[in-house]
Amino acid sequence: MSLPHNLARLALEIEGWLELGAAERALRGLQPLIAHPGARPVGMQLRCHALVALDRFEHALRTLDTIRRESIDVDTEWLEVQDAWCRKRLDDLPGAVAAMYRLLRHDPRSAIAHYNLGCYLALQGHLEEALNEVTVACGLDESFRSHAVDETDLDGLRGDERFEQLLRSDRSDEV
C-alpha cells in the first residue's frame, strides 16, 4: 500500500527534521503517520529514530515493543539492531545480546548482527565468543574490519594475536 501524497510528504518532512537534529520537532509531527494504517510502519520507525536521537531509549524500546506486538511490517534487521543499540545504552548487555541472537535466528548471514554481537560479548568479557563473532562479521562484510580498528567495545580483544591479524588483513589491502 502506498502512502497518500500528503502523508508521504509529511514523512519526508519528518526525515528532514531528524537530519537537521530537530528530533523534538519531528516527534510533534508524527501523529498523522502513526494514526493511518498504511503509514503506521513508517511513522513508528520515525518515532523510534527521534526517540533515540533524544537519548530516550526506554521510550524507543516501548515503541519497538509496540511494533512487535502489533506485527507492524518493518525490516527485522532494523528492529533488532535498534533494540540492541538502545539496550546497550541502558546498560542492558544481556538484552542487547538477546536481540542480536534473535536477528541471527532470522538471518544467520547478517554481518551487522555478528559484529554487534561480538562487541556486546566483548563488553561482557566473553572474549573467545566475541572474537569468533567479529571474525564471522568481517568474513561476511570486509568493511567491518575497518570499523573494528577503532571500536572501543572491542578493546578487550586488543593484544590477542588473532584479533590483531584480523585487523592487519584490512591494512594489508591498503599497501
Beta carbons of 84 and 73 less than 8 angstroms apart? no
Q: Which CATH class is domain 75-175?
A: mainly alpha
Where are the domains positioned within the chain?
1-73, 75-175
For 158-166, which contacts have Cβ atoms below 8 Å and span 24 or more sequence positions? Answer: 160/127, 160/131, 162/131, 162/135, 163/131, 163/134, 166/134, 166/135, 166/138
Please tell me whether the overall predicted TM-score, pTM, comes out greater than 0.85 for this model: yes
User: pLDDT tens digit string along 28-45?
Assistant: 999 999 999 989 999 999
User: pLDDT tens digit string along 56-103?
Assistant: 999 999 999 999 999 998 999 999 999 999 999 999 999 999 999 999
Among the listed residues 84, 164, 153, 166, the one whose alpha carbon sits nearest the alpha carbon of residue 119: 153
Listed in sequence order, the DSSP H helices in 36-126 are 40-53, 57-69, 76-89, 93-106, 111-124
CA distance 164 to 161: 5
pLDDT attached to residue 175: 40
Amino acid at 12: L
Q: How far is CA 175 from the centre of its chain?
A: 32
If one counts every other C-beta atom within 10 angstroms of the C-beta of residue 164, the result is 12
